[in-house]
Amino acid sequence: MTMDATALQTMVDACPFHRLLGLEVTAVDSDQGRVSLGVDLKPDFSRSDDRVELHGGVTASLIDIAGDYAVAALIGRGVPTISLRIDYLRMGRGSRVEATAVVRKAGRTIGTVDIEVFDDAGTLIALGRGTYSTA
């Protein structure tokens, strides 16, 4: 059973941490296992008081959550993370970031997802790969 944007947003909103981040489902293609999530940058998400520069922990959370929901969109339920790899390419700046996650393989026990994070200027700031339990 695949999921649409409304169903995924309901799942997102059911988690206090996701609500704290202010995650917004911006695109879903459940047939392809592709999900995009956006986050408005807040001063609390910054690594510095001098200017808004996105803390790596927020970026990592966005990558993990986007990967999870890409698998969920494909198989119809949330899944736990097995492993997560992140390459930080540059500092996230601006007013918003968006992660797009694409399921590369969803098997009987493990799903593999690639995730890209862009800032509002269209600059790629991080890449991630997650594996999730589909069992």
Euclidean distance between CA atoms 33 and 106, whole angstroms:
9
Whether 1 shows a pLDDT value over 80: the answer reads no
Specify burial of residue 37 (Cβ count, 10 A radius: 0-12, 13-18, 19+). Answer: buried
Question: Which phi and psi (to 5°) does residue 94 adopt?
Answer: 100, -150
| Inter-residue contact 11 to 69 (CB < 8 Å) | yes
Q: pTM value?
A: 0.94
Specify burial of residue 124 (Cβ count, 10 A radius: 0-12, 13-18, 19+). Answer: exposed
The per-residue pLDDT for range 7-51, each reduced to its tens digit, is: 999 999 999 999 999 999 999 998 888 999 999 999 888 888 887
Whether 2 shows a pLDDT value over 70: the answer reads yes
CATH 3.10.129.10 fits 5-133, yes or no: yes
Listed by start position, the domains of the chain span 5-133
The per-residue pLDDT for range 48-77, each reduced to its tens digit, is: 888 778 899 999 999 999 999 999 999 988
